[in-house]
Structure 1
Amino acid sequence: MSIVIGTSYVWNIVAATVMGLQTAAFAGCASRQKARLDLPHSAEIGSRDTQKLSDEENDEFVRFQKVHQAHIEYLPLAQSSVLLAGLFYPKLSAYAGLAYIVGRFVYSISYIRCGAESRKYGAFLICPSVVTLLGSALYGSFKALALI
């Protein structure tokens, strides 16, 4: 089986690029949050720098940092999966990548604004899209190796 990269694969590249830009954008939001709260760039959750914050400011800071960390943790998995699955199923993986991007955006905004309980709305899109991407990448790989 040979892999032919057609024009529909471009949407997978676009999806992977947007995932990276989205992560960078929320990293910028976290940095601006630190600046707004007059914290050094190296401030971390529970550090001495955050002890001067009010409870509300600290909660907001923690939410920004957790959203940023969630983006960073899933970025390699999401990007590599959308690119690998796109080799075998470009349209399916592009749509799953779009669902991931929208889900990550909903997750981030709802978590920052409303707290941890509301992040589940974004997770309803993130989890199925990641499973779809991983499953199609593995299935396509096994099929290419003639194991299926």
Structure 2
Amino acid sequence: MSIVIGTSYVWNIVTATVMGLQTAAFAGCASRHKERLGLPHSAEVGSQEAGKLSDQERDEFSRFQKVHQAHVEYLPLAQSSVLLAGLFYPKLSAYAGLAYIVGRFVYSIGYIRSGPDGRKLGVALICPSVIAMLGASLYGSFKALALV
């Protein structure tokens, strides 16, 4: 048995790979931020080490941690959605995946710089893209099962 991947689907694989790389890149940013603040790698918000920071440094550290956690929490959903929806609608899901990547970048930069209010534009790109990928995956599945 062999798996044949069409050229359209390759963009879904590239998109899923970039999603993973983006998550790793922001993990690296969070680690470098810890080093800049003189914190050990294992420091978390609320830890004794983080308690030694000024209020401004603690807020900034917290925002980096929250951005990283948001990347990690949504990565499995985003990657699986772009790959599964791509089986039925490769171009649609690749474009939605690209919107997710851009949205996640805008979300991250906005949140780190401005706090919770800075993430709104990113969320406006992330949510519709995830909904589109999930919808395409479900619709394609139901259509393949002749349920619609």
Normalization by structure 2: what TM-score?
A: 0.96
How far apart in 1 are the matches of 2:45 and 2:31? 13
Give, in angstroms, the shift of residue 13 of structure 1. 0.4
Q: 4+ runs of 1 displaced by more than 4 Å? A: none
How far apart in 2 are the matches of 1:122 and 1:71? 12
Partner of 1:20: 20
Partner of 1:76: 76
| Uncovered stretches (5+) of structure 2, i.e. residues with no partner | none
How far apart in 2 are the matches of 1:20 and 1:75? 7
8 A contact 1:15–1:98 mirrored in 2:
yes
Structure-to-structure mapping, 1:83-102, within 5 angstroms: 83-102=83-102
Secondary structure in structure 1 of the residue aligned to 2:40: coil
Partner of 2:53: 53
| Uncovered stretches (5+) of structure 1, i.e. residues with no partner | none
Give, in angstroms, the shift of residue 74 of structure 1. 0.2
Q: Is 1:42 aligned with 2:42?
A: yes
Partner of 1:132: 132
Residue by residue, what CA displacement relative to the aligned partner does 1:94-116 show, whole Å, maximum 9, x if unpaired?
00000000000000001001111
Identity, in percent, stands at 82
How far apart in 1 are the matches of 2:95 and 2:4? 19
Secondary structure in structure 1 of the residue aligned to 2:45: coil
TM-align CA RMSD: 1.1
Which is bigger in relative contact order (C-alpha 8 A, separation at least 6)? 1
8 A contact 1:85–1:140 mirrored in 2:
yes
8 A contact 1:30–1:65 mirrored in 2:
yes
Partner of 2:8: 8
Residue by residue, what CA displacement relative to the aligned partner does 1:8-31 show, whole Å, maximum 9, x if unpaired?
101000000000000000000000
Secondary structure in structure 1 of the residue aligned to 2:49: helix
8 A contact 1:50–1:58 mirrored in 2:
yes
Normalization by structure 1: what TM-score?
A: 0.96
